[in-house]
Structure 1
Amino acid sequence: MTMPRSASVLTAAGLAAGLLFTTPGVARASWHLAGSGAALAKAGRMPIVHGVTADATGSSVRVDWPAAEVRTGRPVAGYRVVRYAAGTDTAAVVGDGCSGTLAATGCTETGVPDGTWQYAVRAVQGSWTGAPSARSAVSVHTAVTPGTGATTFPVSGRKYGPNSWARTCPGICGTATASSGSTLTGVRVSLRRADGGYWNGSAFAATTEQFVTVTGSLDTWEIAFPFSNFPPADSDYTVRVVASDSGNRSSESTSTFTVDAKRPEPGGVRTANAATGTIGTIDAGDSFTLTYSETIDPASILSRFNGSPIAVKVEMTQQSGNSPDVLRVLDGTTALPIGSMVLGARGYLQSSSQTVNASMSYSATDGLRITFTASAPRNGQSQPTLRSALSWTAAEGGTDLHGNHVVAATVSEPGNPHLQF
C-alpha cells in the first residue's frame, strides 16, 4: 500500500496534532488532542541509519553510527544493533554491551564468537523500528590461550634407577590443560627407547608410535609403569604427551630422560702383601681388593658405611678335604653382602675357622679394599706351598648408585698362580 505523504483530519472534538510514520508497507500514527478545528498530519518513513562501522579487538566488537533524526532537529529515541553471520539473513543473539534498545550512538559487544560477522543498526521510536542499515562486516579472531600437555615424572634431563623410579607416581605422570574456552577431551602418551622402538604394552618393539592408556583425571593423568619394564641396559627414553580439547585443538610436549638399568658386575679381585709381611701368611697390613664394573653405593653393603675406613672382621674357614680356604667379611657376626673369596689352596689357617680384625674402605677408583689390622694366628703351622689363583664370587646384595643389584658372578685374580698375601 502506498501511503500519502500528508493528510488533513477534522475531529468532532477539535484540532488534533499528530505524527504519522511509515515503514515499507506499514503506516503508523499517533495523535494528541490540542484543540478544535482542522488538523494537518504529515506522514514520513522511519529513518535508516547510515555509516555504521564495526571494529574487533579480541572477542570484543565496537559498533558506531551517526545519529538518525525523525525530522530535522529531532533525533530518534534509540537504536537496536543486529548481528548476522556473514552471508546469511539470520540474526544472532547480540551479547552484553549492545543488546536491547540503546540511547547512545555506539556500543561494544563482548564475548563475540570467532568468525566473520555483519553488523546493522535500526532506528527505534517508541514501538516503531526502522529498517536495518547497510551492514558492516568484521572478523573476530579471539586470542586463545593454548592448552598444555606435560610430563611431571620422570623429569626431563634426569637419570633414574630402581631407587629413584616411581617415587612420586606409579611410573609416568603428568598434567594437561585445555585451551581457553574449551574442555579436555583426551590425553595420549607414547614412550620410546632411543636405541629401540616404542613401548607396545609388553616391550619396546613397535616401529610406529603406540599410545598408552592413561588413568586418573585428564588434567592429572598417570600411567603405571614399573622399573622392570625397562631392558637391563642404560638408555635414553622420550615421553610424548598429546592433549586434545573440545575446541578441536591439541597441544603436545616431549621430555627425554635416562634410565640406568644395567647391573654392576664384579670386575676383579687381587691380594696384596704388607711390606713387612711374610708371603703366604695373613699378617697385619695384608689386604685384598674387590672392584666392580661401575661405582657402587657403600651404604648398600653396610648402612653406616660411606666409603671411609670402618672396622669389620674377616671370617676364614677351612673347607673339608682338599678344598681351599674361604674368606667372608663380617659386621659382628653378620656376613656383608659382598660374597666370598676362595684362596685356591689350603694351609692359610691354623684351625677350621677363625676370625681376624680388619678395616674396610671404598672408593670408585680403588674399589672395595679390606685390610687386615691383625695377623691370623698360625701356632707353628707351616705356610702353604701350593701356588693358586684367588677367586671372588660376588653376592647380589650390593647396588650401584641408582639401586641396580650386583650380578652374582665369579671372577679370578689375573696372572699366574702364586701364594696369597
Structure 2
Amino acid sequence: MIRIQAPPRYIQGKNALDELGQLVKDFGDNFLILSGNTALKMKKDDIEKGFKEAGINCTFERFTGEITYAEIDRVADIIRKGNFNGIIGLGGGKVLDTAKTAAAKTNIPVIISPTIASSDAPCSAVAVIYDEKGNVCGFEFFKSNPDLVLVDSQMIANAPVHTLVAGIGDALATYFEARVGYEEHKKNVVGSYISQTGYGLAKLCYETLKRDALKAVQAVELNVVTQALENVIEANTYLSGIGFENGGVSCAHSIQDALTAIPECHEFLHGHRVAFGTVALLVLQDKSEEELEDVLKLCTDVGLPVTLKQLGLTEDVERKIKEVVNIAYVPEGESSVYNIPEGTTLDDIYAAILMADKIGQEYLDKIGK
C-alpha cells in the first residue's frame, strides 16, 4: 500500500504576502501571526492593511528564536487565551515548525509563509524540535500537512543569499535519499512504501537544482525575482518538502542531526550540514565518480560545504566524528539512518564521513578553491 500526502494549497509568486488576508479568511477570522524579526519589519504594515480590507483580525507575536517544547507551549497558551481560530507562521523554518506544532496542540488551522527558502519544512507534516542549546532533541509528526503554504518570491529574493544556498543543500538530498528507500523497498516518513509520485518529485527536485541553482543564487545576489529563482524556490520548498515526505530520508539527514551536537557546526544552517551528509551518502553507496562529481560541482558552485573543515570542524576530528556516528546510528525506528542498504554498520558510516571529507578536499584542490 502507498500513501501520498501534500498541503491542500500551495501558492507562490512575487509579492504574494500582500494577498495574505484575502487568502486566509476561509480558515477563520481571528489569526495569531507568529513571526520572526525580519518579517515584522518588512511586511507588518502591509499584512495588517490586507487583513483590515478582508474584514478579519490578526495579532502579531514575536518568535523567541528557538523551537523548544517550552516555546511551543508558550505559543499554544497564547492561542487559547486569545481565542484565535487560526495561526500563521511567518519566517524561517523554526518559526514555521513552531506554528505547526502549536496548531496541532490547539486543533486549529495553520498557514505557513516562509520568508526564506532555506529548508523544505514549510510543506511537511513534521517538525524538528531543538533544546535550548540548539541540539536536535525530537520530532513531531502531524495528521495532516499545513492548510495553506504561501511563498512570497520577492521576500526570498530579499533574504540573505546563504539562506537560499542552505535550502539548495537541503533539497539536494531529496532525490538521493528517496532513491535509497525506493531501491531498498523501505518506508518513507509517513510510513508508506515509496510511490512513483514521491520518487518522481524527488528526482525533478534534483534536476531543477542542476539546471537553475547557480542562476537562482545570482538572482538573490541582485535581489531580483527571475524564472530560475522561482524554479529553485519551488524545488527547495515544494518539491523537496513533498519529495522527502513521500520519498523518505536517509543518512544525509541523520548525519546533519548528529552534527548539531558538535558546537563548531552550530553556526551553519540545516541545509549546509545536509549537503555534506549527501556527499557522505553517495560515498557510503559507492556511487559513480561522475555522479559524485556532479554533486560536488553543484555544491561548490553555490557555496555549500563539501568538507568538515568548511563546517568548522578542524580539531580532534576522528573522535568527534565517532560521536556523530554514535548519535546518528540509534535503534531502528528512531533514526532515518536505517533507510540505507541492509548490513550497514557504524564503521561503514564513520568511514563514509571521513572519505567524503577527503574526496571533498581533493575536489576543492583540483578546482583551485
| Same fold, judged at TM 0.5 (above) | no
Q: TM-score, normalised by structure 2?
A: 0.22
Q: TM-score, normalised by structure 1?
A: 0.20
Q: Which has the higher strand share?
A: 1
- Computing the radius of gyration from Cα coordinates, the structure with the larger value is 1
Q: Which has the higher contact order (CA 8 A, sep 6+)?
A: 2
